[in-house]
Every structure is written in structure tokens, then in C-alpha cells.
């Protein structure tokens, strides 16, 4: 596993998307699943994909392992889900400011090298910040002090990008984790 950063390219894109955050207390896994493709009326599923789906052909997307964070992408590179394996006892309790609601909506392309199985691995330190009173959760990837631009990834999700195009933070709002 190489040490580094998750370099991304953002493309303006307006579509309704929500990342639904859940906590599995038995497995100690925080997950976020996207509602993106199935709910957007503008998404056109090509005929070959409709046929493949109807006969059970499954195309796996890519997976990026970034330390304790796994990012699952569909075959077009869109985020399908996130999984985080960090014990909540290690989460930092702190206030997390809400990014502006006027952020540009974007899609994210991860500029990384995948192996023949569609897997990429980059060692990135991840800090989890939990703002329970405001129901906000932040995944800070490496340094979070050099964020240059914020973007809207979904209705409840913002991302912070550094000047060098490194993904520095994924910030969720309206997170309901009743057991924490």
C-alpha cells in the first residue's frame, strides 16, 4: 500500500443525491450508501446495461482502500458507498461548521491507478470528527487545514478539496446515529 493522497477531478453536475449514513455496532463499520442513480430522472440507463441487469450480469466497479476508509465506485466511477472501520472511541467530538448551501454540485473522478481487479490502495490517515448536537460527521483525509474549495456532492454531503486537488474532507449533515 503506497502512502499518499486521494487526488480527484471535480465536474459540475446537478442531480439530487443523498448519502445515507448508517452505523453497524456489531461490525464497527460506518457506511454511507448513495441514492444517486436510481432516483435521478435525468439518468438514462443504456440498453445494453438494462439487458445485462435483466439476465443477471453484474459488473463490479472499482474499490479504493484509503487506510480504514473504503470507497466503492460504480463502473462509471461514481461513488456508490463508503465504509469506514474506526472505533467510535477514536472519533473526535467537536463542532463541525455547516458548509454553505450555495455550493456547486459536482461529481468526483478519482485519479488513481487500479489493478486488474479494479482495486486501488493508498495509505491516507483518516480522522473522524462527530458533532452529535448538530448531527454532522466529518471524515478528514490527511491534512484538513489546506482546503481551498468546498463542493456539494449530494443533498447532505460536502467535500473539501486542497489546491493540489487532493480530497481532504467528506462532510455529512443530517446524520442520525442513535446509538452513538
Q: What are the boundaries of each domain within the chain?
A: 2-172
Do 172 and 13 meet the contact criterion of CB atoms below 8 Å apart?
no
> CA-CA distance, 71 to 64, in Å (whole number)?
5
> CA-CA distance, 36 to 164, in Å (whole number)?
27
- Residue-level pLDDT at 39: 45
> CA-CA distance, 165 to 60, in Å (whole number)?
26
**Beta strand extents in the chain (DSSP E only):** 2-3, 8-12, 19-24, 29-34, 63-66, 69-73, 79-84, 92-93, 106-110, 119-123, 126-131, 136-141, 147-154, 157-162, 167-172
pLDDT of 40 over the 60 cut = no
Summarize pLDDT for 127-177 with one digit per residue, the tens: 999 999 999 999 999 987 899 999 998 888 999 999 999 999 999 998 888
Summarize pLDDT for 79-107 with one digit per residue, the tens: 888 999 888 899 999 999 987 778 998 98
Amino acid at each position: 500500500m503506497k502512502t499518499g493522497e486521494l487526488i480527484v477531478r471535480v465536474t459540475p453536475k446537478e442531480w439530487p443525491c443523498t448519502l445515507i449514513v448508517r452505523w453497524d455496532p456489531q461490525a464497527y463499520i460506518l457506511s454511507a450508501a448513495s441514492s444517486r442513480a436510481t432516483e435521478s430522472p435525468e439518468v438514462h440507463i443504456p440498453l445494453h446495461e438494462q439487458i445485462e441487469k435483466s439476465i443477471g450480469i453484474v459488473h463490479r466497479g472499482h474499490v479504493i482502500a484509503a487506510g480504514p476508509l473504503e470507497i466503492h465506485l460504480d463502473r462509471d466511477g461514481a461513488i456508490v458507498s463508503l465504509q469506514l472501520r474506526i472505533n467510535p472511541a477514536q472519533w473526535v467530538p467537536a463542532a463541525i461548521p455547516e458548509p454553505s448551501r450555495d455550493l456547486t454540485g459536482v461529481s468526483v473522478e478519482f485519479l488513481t491507478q487500479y489493478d486488474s481487479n479494479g482495486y486501488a490502495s493508498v495509505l491516507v490517515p483518516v480522522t473522524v470528527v462527530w458533532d452529535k448536537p448538530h448531527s454532522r460527521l466529518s471524515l478528514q483525509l490527511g491534512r484538513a487545514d489546506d482546503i481551498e474549495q468546498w463542493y456539494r456532492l449530494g443533498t447532505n454531503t460536502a467535500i473539501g478539496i486542497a489546491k493540489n486537488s487532493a480530497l481532504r474532507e467528506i462532510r455529512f449533515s443530517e446524520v442520525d446515529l442513535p446509538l452513538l
